[in-house]
């Protein structure tokens, strides 16, 4: 499904050399949207999101920022599954571990400097956990389908473990893990030292998350369209073949898995700071399956699909509320995995491309040449 | 000696639980290459149907259990036709759109996991919406075995015998019936089986129905002893899942051995550290087993046996 | 002569056809010693001492089940040896992973064409090349590789849409783009028509003579083998049965007998 770019390249007049060069880093066959039109739309969307709090008020914006937080979790699965071919049911493991780590550290060191440290330690914790689990599986030669099973079981191990941490002995410093009751009074996110620090809440938190998301999205776009990204895709498509081109497949899978853990960890830390609360519910199967649902519906092989589907589905779930929401989500998942396993965004993109080229004369090779080699 | 007896009962309870939870799933996974993450919900259907038949319709417990099994088997048949093989939607789309829209889920492990997960969400919430958050409880029959201060439910220990019976029945079906022959041929090599005239589609349909029926049986058997909530399936799913993978390709022997191993570990650790840690120990054992014996116990035994034989 | 930096940092010097013609084939590129591979109780490769000189074009033939593909897979490291050793360019590579051996100069085309179906021809060609070159140099090399495979104009076609013969050509091109010293081809002309076979034979010969790449080619087509081979190795029951120039092998009655069966 490496559809060639539509209307990009030299035929796309109006771009100066520098701008086109900059764009080329973020464009390629591994992501959707490689035309000026796309970037204009992207800019509009970002601006709309930036204006959103002024339209709906800070309370709604604060609720919406949760969906943006989840987008990191969706991206983490997209990177690991869509781009390296490893279906992990356990991204929530790294999400949860990072969130709890942030909670424990920030409750014990409730100063801005301490919280900044907690943020870093939390994300690192998620990445480290992914590295350890990933090493155990990938360098143990576990086939991809069993990686899925092991990650699923790991989620349950953590759920069972955290659920029984209710007693007083399960307290680290000032932070009680709290078992099923969870860990409350996690402080808001803050960066900086003492006086020269910002604490994020409500509106400021929203903009922080939005900014981080845009930066992460662009960073990942650059990564998957780079040489390394192409190797990731090659690993996904055919591991043996890629090995025979001299690439250390195990190392690539582990690196990508760890990156996925860091992204999930970032999501977890932001989540803990958003709700000021962590509970073992994040390790439940229902929550563990959400990333799989988001990414299956949106299109796991595209970053844009992961983000839009996550935000879209969570928004929907939240609006509907209650049991009906889960039924609808279940139906969505079924319909998509059976009828449109590639997801929405690639399908929309394909249809759009087909509509534009109209079945008329095929584009001359230069016009559809990739922007970079 | 009292504690030893308690440990024995815990083991039997655990063994029964794992084997009964896993039996239906093992058959479906082994023959069709489909991982049914809605398996727990099939068990729930059996439990609910049994409870409704017993309490609302007034049927005696054994008859109610039979109802549970049949309802679940029928439900499984519908799921197989609509979701797993996609035959019904494809027939419809063929009529109206002129083409098929769904690929069957056979041997698509990741996709089948995701699709059946969606199914399970629908089932749990569907039941919750239509029947509420909990259902009346059938009382546990047969009372307790009591001995110097301890007591254990007789019924749950007896289920171990039932579990063995189910294993024996499965063995019989697979080795002595015509269906069993067809099913085993299809596991070995689907294309060859089809070339030899085996109706693989019918075999898959029957297999899924049987697997669902077994899940229904598990639900029916446990209905008197567990809390009747829509989410009850999830406590069965994981154990079932893990036992199937650890057991390996041989359905009967694998499930038995996995049940024995995991049940023993669960019981022992639970006895010393409590049920939470018992479960954790079971899950961690499973992870270690999958990592070091990815083909399961029986897969590993097969490899050992091949090593000792001569032959291509 | 062209040089190629390998993982150990030293240049690999390859011999040209001229040097070969003068009989200056001193350097052994690949050498296996007592190489053994067992699957369960079945010995697929039995104490094989197989050697290939630099720039040589060797064909590996033998009845089905003789262990030809197994031998190639042992050389690439896809299979772990049950016993014995493999030396490549003087280094003991027996314990190296496949990707490490590739970086030393071994390259392979699989028995079943394994191009990346969902990627375009250009994207396929770029993958092995992107490790060696950047920017304009890379673009040029990718263009050359596509052209050499006879696929100019198919650049943006998904590889799965190519014909069987085109896929074979693409895959050979990709394997050659790694600038190997030893290229292993597992049945490169299976399922191709006469014209396509000739094209591949020509390509292999050209790569061998112009770039000095040594080849080990598994093939069943005797005409193809006769066309390209310097030397032929016959495998039977996992052992080397005969070795020698194609004329000698062709007329050897023992060889004919093992193909017809009955020989043990």
For residues C107 and C34, what is the distance between their CA atoms, to the nearest angstrom? 22
Coil, helix or strand for B291? helix
Q: What is the pLDDT of residues C16-40, one digit of tens each?
A: 444 444 444 458 899 999 999 888 7
Name which of A132-141, A182-191, C180-189 the model is least confident about: A182-191
Q: What is the CA radius of gyration of chain C?
A: 18
Tell me whether residue C148 is in a domain.
no
- Residue B148: predicted pLDDT: 65
Q: What is the pLDDT of residues A179-215, one digit of tens each?
A: 888 888 888 888 887 777 888 888 899 999 999 999 9
- Residue A51: predicted pLDDT: 92
Whether the per-residue pLDDT at A354 is higher than 80: the answer is: yes
Contacts (Cβ under 8 Å, ≥6 apart) of A231 = A242, A247, A252, C127
Whether the per-residue pLDDT at A260 is higher than 90: the answer is: yes
* CATH code for the domain of C107: 3.40.50.300
Coil, helix or strand for B245? helix
Domain positions in chain A are: 32-357
> CB contact, 8 Å: A180 with chain B?
no
Tell me whether residue C136 is in a domain.
no
Q: What are phi and psi of C252, to 5 degrees?
A: -80, 120
Q: Do C219 and C245 contact (CB within 8 A), yes or no?
A: no
- Residue C64: predicted pLDDT: 82
Name which of A8-12, A75-79, A114-118, B2-6 the model is least confident about: A8-12
Tell me whether residue C29 is in a domain.
yes
| Residue of chain C nearest A249, judged by CA positions | C99
CATH level 2 (architecture), domain A32-357: Orthogonal Bundle (1.10)
- Residue B1: predicted pLDDT: 52
- Residue B215: predicted pLDDT: 94
For residues C143 and A239, what is the distance between their CA atoms, to the nearest angstrom? 25
Beta bridge partners of A199: A190
- Residue B188: predicted pLDDT: 67
Whether the per-residue pLDDT at A262 is higher than 90: the answer is: yes
For residues C165 and C193, what is the distance between their CA atoms, to the nearest angstrom? 8
- Classify the C-alpha dihedral A58-A61-A66-A70 as positive or negative: negative
Tell me whether residue C130 is in a domain.
no
Tell me whether residue C167 is in a domain.
yes
For residues A241 and B84, what is the distance between their CA atoms, to the nearest angstrom? 31
Whether the per-residue pLDDT at C5 is higher than 80: the answer is: no
Query: Is C41–B311 a contact, with Cβ atoms under 8 angstroms apart?
Result: yes
> CB contact, 8 Å: B306 with chain C?
yes
Whether the per-residue pLDDT at A318 is higher than 90: the answer is: no
CA nearest to A178, candidates A286, A66, A281: A281
C contact test, residue of A30, A237, A245, A254 with most C CBs within 10 A: A245
Coil, helix or strand for C13? coil
Confidence of residue A358 (pLDDT cuts 50, 70, 90): low
For residues A362 and C154, what is the distance between their CA atoms, to the nearest angstrom? 13
CA distances to A90, A183, B182, B215, C26 from B176, rounded to whole Å, are 42, 57, 11, 22, 67
Supply the mean pLDDT for chain B: 85
Q: What is the pLDDT of residues C222-236, one digit of tens each?
A: 888 888 888 899 988
Residue A125's CB is within 10 A of a number of other CB atoms, namely 25
Q: Which residue has the higher pLDDT, A76 or A169?
A: A76
> CB contact, 8 Å: C231 with chain A?
no
Supply the mean pLDDT for chain C: 83
The pLDDT > 90 percentage for chain A reads 43
Query: Is B307–C42 a contact, with Cβ atoms under 8 angstroms apart?
Result: no
Chain A positions touching C123 (Cβ under 8 A) are 2, 29, 230
Domains plus CATH for chain B?
2-136+163-226+234-308 (1.10.3470)
Contacts (Cβ under 8 Å, ≥6 apart) of A16 = none
Q: What is the pLDDT of residues C70-124, one digit of tens each?
A: 999 999 998 888 889 999 988 899 999 999 999 999 999 888 878 888 889 999 9
> CB contact, 8 Å: C42 with chain B?
yes
Query: Is C120–A4 a contact, with Cβ atoms under 8 angstroms apart?
Result: yes
Strand C57-61 to C182-186 pairing: unpaired
Q: What is the DSSP letter of C159?
A: G
Chains adjacent to B (≥3 CB pairs closer than 8 angstroms):
A, C
- Residue A368: predicted pLDDT: 33
Total domain count, chain C: 1
Chain B: give the shortest CA distance to residue C163, in Å. Answer: 25
Q: What is the pLDDT of residues B141-192, one digit of tens each?
A: 777 777 766 777 888 888 888 998 988 988 888 888 888 888 777 776 777 7
Chain B positions touching C40 (Cβ under 8 A) are 303, 306-307, 309, 311
Chain B positions touching A149 (Cβ under 8 A) are 241, 245, 290
The whole model's pTM is what? 0.85
Chain C: give the shortest CA distance to residue B303, in Å. Answer: 7
Segment A360-372 shows an average pLDDT of 38
Chain A window 15-74: which residues touch C at a Cβ cutoff of 8 Å? 29
Q: What is the pLDDT of residues C147-166, one digit of tens each?
A: 888 888 898 999 999 998 88
Confidence of residue A338 (pLDDT cuts 50, 70, 90): confident
Confidence of residue A154 (pLDDT cuts 50, 70, 90): very high
- Classify the C-alpha dihedral B99-B105-B110-B112 as positive or negative: positive
CA nearest to A65, candidates A278, A332, A310, A325: A310
Give the HSE-up count for residue C7: Cα atoms under 13 Å, Cβ half-sphere: 18
- Residue A5: predicted pLDDT: 39
Chains adjacent to C (≥3 CB pairs closer than 8 angstroms):
A, B
Instruction: Name the residue facing B280 among A157, A327, A331 (closest C-beta).
Output: A157
> CB contact, 8 Å: B151 with chain A?
no
- Residue C261: predicted pLDDT: 58
Name which of B194-203, C75-84, C184-193 the model is least confident about: B194-203
Supply the mean pLDDT for chain A: 85
Beta bridge partners of C38: C43
Strand C83-88 to C91-92 pairing: antiparallel
- Residue B69: predicted pLDDT: 94
Is residue A174 exposed (0-12), middle (13-18) or buried (19+ Cβ within 10 Å)? exposed
Segment B231-241 shows an average pLDDT of 87
DSSP per residue over B96-152, as a string? HHSS------TT-HHHHHHHHHHHHHHHHHHHHHHH-S----PPPTT-EEEETTEEE
- Residue B56: predicted pLDDT: 84
Whether the per-residue pLDDT at A6 is higher than 60: the answer is: no
Whether the per-residue pLDDT at A363 is higher than 80: the answer is: no
> CB contact, 8 Å: C9 with chain B?
no
Q: What is the pLDDT of residues B66-114, one digit of tens each?
A: 999 999 999 999 999 888 888 888 888 888 877 777 888 877 777 788 8
Q: Which residue has the higher pLDDT, C30 or A323?
A: C30
For residues B271 and B23, what is the distance between their CA atoms, to the nearest angstrom? 26
Tell me whether residue C138 is in a domain.
no
Name which of A276-280, B192-196, C80-84 the model is least confident about: B192-196
Chains adjacent to A (≥3 CB pairs closer than 8 angstroms):
B, C
Chain B: give the shortest CA distance to residue A243, in Å. Answer: 22
Whether the per-residue pLDDT at B283 is higher than 50: the answer is: yes
Q: Which domain does C34 fall in, by range?
A: 17-115+162-260
């Amino acid at each position: 499904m490496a559809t060639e770019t539509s209307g990009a390249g030299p035929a796309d007049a109006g771009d100066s050399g520098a701008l086109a060069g900059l764009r080329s880093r973020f464009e390629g066959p591994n992501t959707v949207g490689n035309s000026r039109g796309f970037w204009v739309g992207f800019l509009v969307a970002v601006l709309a999101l930036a204006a959103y709090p002024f339209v709906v008020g800070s309370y709604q914006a604060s609720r919406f920022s949760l969906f943006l937080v989840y987008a990191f979790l969706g991206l983490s699965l997209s990177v690991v599954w869509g781009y390296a071919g490893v279906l992990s049911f356990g991204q929530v493991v790294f999400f949860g571990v990072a969130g709890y780590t942030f909670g424990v550290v920030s409750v014990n060191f409730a100063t801005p400097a301490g919280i900044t440290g907690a943020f870093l330690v939390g994300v690192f914790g998620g990445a480290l956990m992914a590295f350890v689990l990933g090493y155990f599986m990938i360098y143990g030669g576990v086939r991809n389908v069993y990686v899925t099973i092991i990650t699923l079981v790991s989620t349950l191990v953590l759920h069972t473990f955290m659920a029984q941490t209710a007693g007083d002995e399960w307290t680290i410093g000032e932070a009680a893990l709290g078992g099923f009751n969870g860990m409350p009074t996690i402080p808001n996110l803050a960066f900086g030292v003492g006086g020269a620090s910002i604490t994020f809440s409500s509106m400021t938190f929203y903009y922080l998350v939005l900014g981080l998301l845009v930066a992460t999205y662009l960073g990942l776009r650059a990564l998957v369209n780079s040489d390394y990204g192409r190797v990731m895709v090659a690993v996904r498509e055919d591991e043996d073949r890629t090995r025979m081109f001299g690439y250390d497949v195990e190392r690539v899978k582990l690196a990508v898995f760890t990156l996925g853990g860091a992204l999930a960890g970032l999501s977890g830390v932001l989540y803990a700071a958003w709700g000021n609360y962590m509970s073992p519910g994040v390790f439940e199967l229902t929550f563990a399956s959400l990333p799989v649902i988001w990414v299956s519906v949106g299109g796991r092989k595209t970053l844009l699909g992961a983000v839009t589907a996550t935000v879209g589905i969570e928004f929907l779930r939240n609006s509907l509320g209650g049991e009906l929401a889960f039924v609808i989500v279940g139906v969505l998942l079924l319909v998509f995995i059976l009828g449109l396993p590639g997801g929405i965004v690639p399908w929309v993109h394909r249809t759009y491309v087909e509509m534009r080229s109209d079945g008329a004369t095929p584009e001359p090779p230069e016009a559809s040449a990739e922007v970079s080699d | 000696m009292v504690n030893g007896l308690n440990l024995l009962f815990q083991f039997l309870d655990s063994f029964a639980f794992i084997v009964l939870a896993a039996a239906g799933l093992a058959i479906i996974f082994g023959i069709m290459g489909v991982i049914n993450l809605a398996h727990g919900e099939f068990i729930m259907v059996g439990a609910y149907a049994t409870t409704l038949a017993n309490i609302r319709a007034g049927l005696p417990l054994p008859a109610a259990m039979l109802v549970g099994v049949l309802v679940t088997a029928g439900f499984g048949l519908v799921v197989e036709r609509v979701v797993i093989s996609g035959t019904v939607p494809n027939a419809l789309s063929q009529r109206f759109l002129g083409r098929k829209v769904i690929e069957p889920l056979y041997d698509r492990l990741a996709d089948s996991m995701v699709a059946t997960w969606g199914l399970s969400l629908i089932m749990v919430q569907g039941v919750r919406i239509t029947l509420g958050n909990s259902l009346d409880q059938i009382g546990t029959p047969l009372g307790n075995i009591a001995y110097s201060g301890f007591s254990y439910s007789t019924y749950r220990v007896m289920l171990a015998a039932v579990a063995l019976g189910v294993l024996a029945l499965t063995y019989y079906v697979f080795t002595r019936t015509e269906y069993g022959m067809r099913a085993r041929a299809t596991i070995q090599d689907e294309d060859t089986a089809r070339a030899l005239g085996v109706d693989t589609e019918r075999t898959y349909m029957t297999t899924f129905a049987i697997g669902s029926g077994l899940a229904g049986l598990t639900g029916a058997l446990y209905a008197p002893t567990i809390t009747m909530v829509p989410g009850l399936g999830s406590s069965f799913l994981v154990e079932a899942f893990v036992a199937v993978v650890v057991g390996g390709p041989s359905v009967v022997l694998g499930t038995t051995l996995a049940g024995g191993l995991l049940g023993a570990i669960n019981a022992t650790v639970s006895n010393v550290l409590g049920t939470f840690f018992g479960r954790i120990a079971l899950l961690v054992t499973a992870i270690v087993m999958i990592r070091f014996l990815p083909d399961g116990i029986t897969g590993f035994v097969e490899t050992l046996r091949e090593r000792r034989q001569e032959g291509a | 002569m062209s040089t190629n930096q390998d993982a150990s940092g030293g240049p690999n010097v390859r011999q040209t056809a001229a040097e070969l013609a003068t009989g200056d084939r001193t350097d052994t590129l690949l050498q296996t010693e007592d190489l053994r591979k067992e699957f369960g109780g079945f010995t697929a490769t039995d104490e094989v001492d197989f050697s290939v000189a630099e720039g040589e074009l060797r064909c590996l033939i033998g009845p089905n089940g003789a262990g030809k593909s197994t031998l190639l897979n042992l050389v690439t490291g896809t299979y772990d040896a049950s016993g014995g050793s493999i030396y490549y360019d003087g280094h003991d590579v027996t314990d190296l992973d496949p990707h490490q051996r590739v970086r030393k100069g071994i390259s392979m085309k699989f028995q079943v064409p394994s191009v990346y179906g969902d990627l375009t021809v250009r994207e396929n060609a770029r993958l092995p090349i992107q490790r060696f070159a950047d920017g304009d140099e890379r673009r040029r090399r990718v263009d050359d590789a596509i052209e050499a495979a006879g696929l100019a104009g198919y650049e943006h076609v998904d590889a799965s849409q190519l014909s069987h013969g085109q896929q074979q050509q693409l895959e050979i091109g990709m394997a050659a783009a790694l600038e190997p010293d030893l290229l292993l081809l597992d049945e490169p002309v299976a399922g191709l028509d006469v014209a396509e076979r000739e094209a591949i034979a020509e390509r292999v010969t050209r790569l061998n003579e112009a770039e000095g790449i040594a080849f080990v080619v598994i093939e069943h087509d005797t005409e193809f083998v006769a066309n390209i081979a310097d030397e032929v190795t016959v495998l039977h029951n996992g052992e080397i049965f005969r070795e020698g120039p194609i004329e000698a092998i062709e007329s050897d009655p023992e060889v004919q007998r093992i193909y017809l069966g009955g020989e043990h």
